[in-house]
Structure 1
Amino acid sequence: MATPDFIRTIRAAAGHQLLWLPGVSAVVFDDEGRVLLGQRADNQQWTVVNGIPDPGEQPAAAAVREVYEETGVRCVAERVVLVRSSQEVTYPNGDMCQFMDITFRCRALGGEARVNDDESLEVGWFEVDALPRMKESQLFRIKQALADEPTWFEPMD
């Protein structure tokens, strides 16, 4: 995930201290029921499309924008399937972040799946029973997008 300019500005003042940031993820399905995935350039992991909303941008609009920017696929957000905060992440440069992720189930409208920016090594459609190796958190997003259940969130203790 490329660092947006507004976060670079915050980092200039905040240094490496922990930033609490919004995030969006898009689990995009095509008409054949396949899911759109990208292999990240920074860590080679396969993931659903994700990113950071711009200031003032609605989360669903951010998810749709990120899908197009990263993959060339046009889509529409259908519903929120998951709201969850991540673990703290410390990047190699010492920056610390924690993300509040809103995951959307999306439906592809058109476009050709392709590497559309420098954030991905590969992009493609995958059958849900033939996914590449992925972290459990990514698989959970897909599972929730496939489920006909209310939005998932961590219950209170």
Structure 2
Amino acid sequence: MGLTWDESYLGRVRGSVGDTDTLLFVGARGVILDDQDRLLLIQRSDNHRWAIPAGAMELGESMEQCAIREVWEETGLRATSLTPFSFHTNRTYTNEYGHTYQQILMSFRIHTWEGELLRVTDESVDAGFFPLDALPGPKSAILDEVLTDLATFESTGQLILK
């Protein structure tokens, strides 16, 4: 549906600087809760963890456009109304390939969307809506933090900054 890793901006930068330097990873994630308060998760094709649709920005995109594109690429759903609720800039992580990134990520609550959910895409091996008290595993390490941030935002109206 989208670019391959090698074609993406981050893939091209990683390819030119090598594996050892820490890169800035600028991206977005989209949180969808349906009318039954079930969370949309994808099972990632790379590590098989259950995660919120997310990914890196491409040149020329806004963070909102990135969230819309990533949700579409990973689920087949097109976000039509979304609100930012958290902005994280303080996390550095090393992935399973030994690449280290400092993340700059905006999380969006997606209120409305269109399309039919695709359970399998180039980036996911499964997808579905799950009750918050029965999320599948293994799950992404940041999932609980994102849901806590969303709950805090919804109760305070304040953008979460970390």
Q: Take 1:120 and 1:18, find their aligned partners in 2: how far apart are those partners?
A: 26
Question: TM-score if structure 2 supplies the norm length?
Answer: 0.82
Moved more, 116-125 or 144-153: 144-153
Q: Take 1:90 and 1:36, find their aligned partners in 2: how far apart are those partners?
A: 23
Partner in structure 2 of residue 14 of structure 1: 17
Q: Take 1:135 and 1:70, find their aligned partners in 2: how far apart are those partners?
A: 15
Amino acid at match of 1:140: E
Q: Take 2:31 and 2:121, find their aligned partners in 1: how far apart are those partners?
A: 19
Gaps of 5+ in 2: none
Q: Secondary structure at the match of 1:7?
A: helix
Question: TM-score if structure 1 supplies the norm length?
Answer: 0.85
Work out the percentage of aligned pairs sharing the same amino acid: 28
Q: What do residues 120-146 of structure 1 show as CA deviations (whole Å, max 9, x unaligned)?
A: 111001122221233452122123224
Q: What do residues 99-123 of structure 1 show as CA deviations (whole Å, max 9, x unaligned)?
A: 1111111123222222352211110
1:89 aligns with 2:90: no
Q: Is the 8 A contact 2:75 2:119 kept in 1?
A: yes
Q: Secondary structure at the match of 1:88?
A: strand
Amino acid at match of 2:124: S
Amino acid at match of 2:106: I
Residue 7 to residue 126, structure 1, CA distance change in 2 (3 Å) = same
Report the RMSD for the aligned CA atoms in angstroms. Answer: 2.1
1:73 aligns with 2:74: no
Residue 101 to residue 108, structure 1, CA distance change in 2 (3 Å) = same
Partner in structure 2 of residue 111 of structure 1: 115
Amino acid at match of 1:36: L
Partner in structure 1 of residue 136 of structure 2: 132
Q: Is the 8 A contact 2:31 2:53 kept in 1?
A: yes
* 1:58-69 matched pairs, under 5 angstroms: 58-69=62-73
1:89, distance to aligned residue in structure 2 (A): 1.1
Q: Take 2:131 and 2:65, find their aligned partners in 1: how far apart are those partners?
A: 26
Q: Take 1:38 and 1:108, find their aligned partners in 2: how far apart are those partners?
A: 18
Q: How many residues in Structure 1 have an aligned counterpart in Structure 2?
A: 153
Q: Is the 8 A contact 2:28 2:57 kept in 1?
A: yes
Q: Take 1:11 and 1:109, find their aligned partners in 2: how far apart are those partners?
A: 33
1:77, distance to aligned residue in structure 2 (A): 4.4
Amino acid at match of 2:159: T
Residue 100 to residue 77, structure 1, CA distance change in 2 (3 Å) = farther
User: Which aligned runs of 4 or more in structure 1 are off by greater than 4 angstroms?
Assistant: none
Gaps of 5+ in 1: none
Q: Take 1:100 and 1:77, find their aligned partners in 2: how far apart are those partners?
A: 22
